[in-house]
Amino acid sequence: MTPDQLITFATVAEFGNISRAAVALHLSQPAVSGQLRQLQDEFGEPLYQRDGRGVRLTAAGEQLAHYAERIRETYQQAHAFRDALRGLERGVLRIGASTTPASYLLPYLIAAFHRKFPDVTITTIDGNTSDIVAALPALDIAMVEGPVSGDLPPGTGVTPWREDQVVAIVPNAHPLAPADGLTTLDAISAHPLVLREGGSGVRQIVERAFARAGAPMRVALEIAGVEGVKEAVRAGMGIGFVSAMSMRHEDNALRRLRIAPEPLTRRFSILMPHSAAPSRTAARFLDLCLDDSNPG
């Protein structure tokens, strides 16, 4: 039995899913499964059982999970303490960001941070909002879009950040592409839609807006990523929804439509795991994010 095996077991117990735990630990799924088997062999009885797509702890596994979680918490605290002592000279900053901030805000922020602290090593991961929330235990700071669920790791700090507008996009020749750039959800509901994948912050905003308006949704295509939505709209598959930020360098092939009478707005949030004792690098990056003078 090793500390690494116990930390892995605590992470699997938290997520109830081996593949999600592997993402959070930056390990392959076979590596996580191998550590679980070795730990189970050490105890000589089952610690977990397969349950659909996830795992369910046995009684022995539930008891072990309490000890394993203490080991994991101690490791995380020691890791944060080490980073604080090392300061910003040789620090490492692990950033996660959901699709829109990862593409249209994070590059500018990292460039500004690198100019101030050139010796800090920065690693990033991106995905949709649910992917980033799942990876929080392995991150120092994260940026997500849309509502933040209450299912966050203990000790995670949530800071409301920038506001963004979600807009509909259509080809220039589309019948809903008037000169004033305004439309309604009722008008859109008569046309096929191109939506982001489940777990996307944009999709959540759009689904809630249609539900409030009592307008039906005719989903013609579900596709991952902002650029995938744009290409599908260019191809004539339907009306898409994207962040207004993603259209600021767009060519003239697509028309951006604002939703009337109320625009679709959402707020980005910054998540800080271990917020009671963040690393100095994470704290400085948060300060930079909250400085309105920075581009992005």
Topology classification of domain 164-265:
D-Maltodextrin-Binding Protein; domain 2 (3.40.190)
Q: What average pLDDT does the structure give for the chain?
A: 87
Q: Comparing 86-162+267-290 with 164-265, is the CATH topology the same?
A: yes
- pTM (2 d.p.): 0.60
φ, ψ at 125 (rounded to 5°): -135, 150
- Give 113 or 155, the one with higher predicted confidence: 113
Helices (H) and strands (E) in the chain, counts: 11, 12
Separation between Cα atoms, residue 126 and residue 157, nearest integer Å: 19
Rounded Cα distance between 195 and 100, Å, is: 15
Cβ atoms of 10 and 69 within 8 Å: the answer is yes
Higher-pLDDT residue of 288, 50: 288
pLDDT above 80: residue 101: yes
CB distance 197 to 222 below 8 Å: yes
Average pLDDT over residues 199-209: 86
Listed residue (230, 223, 205, 228) closest to 145, CA to CA: 205
Sign (positive or negative) of CA dihedral 102, 103, 105, 108: positive
C-alpha–C-alpha distance, residues 11 and 73, integer Å: 11
Task: Parse the chain into domains and list their residue ranges.
Answer: 3-77, 86-162+267-290, 164-265
For residue 181, the SS3 value is: coil
CATH 3.30.300.30 fits 86-162+267-290, yes or no: no
Burial 93-104 (b: 16+ CB within 10 A, else e): bbbbbbbbbbbb
Which residue has tokens 């305004």? Answer: 182
As its CATH architecture, domain 3-77 has Orthogonal Bundle (1.10)
| pLDDT tens digits for range 126-179 | 888 888 888 888 899 999 987 777 678 888 899 999 888 899 999 988 988 876
Question: pLDDT tens digit string along 249-270?
Answer: 776 789 989 898 888 888 899 9
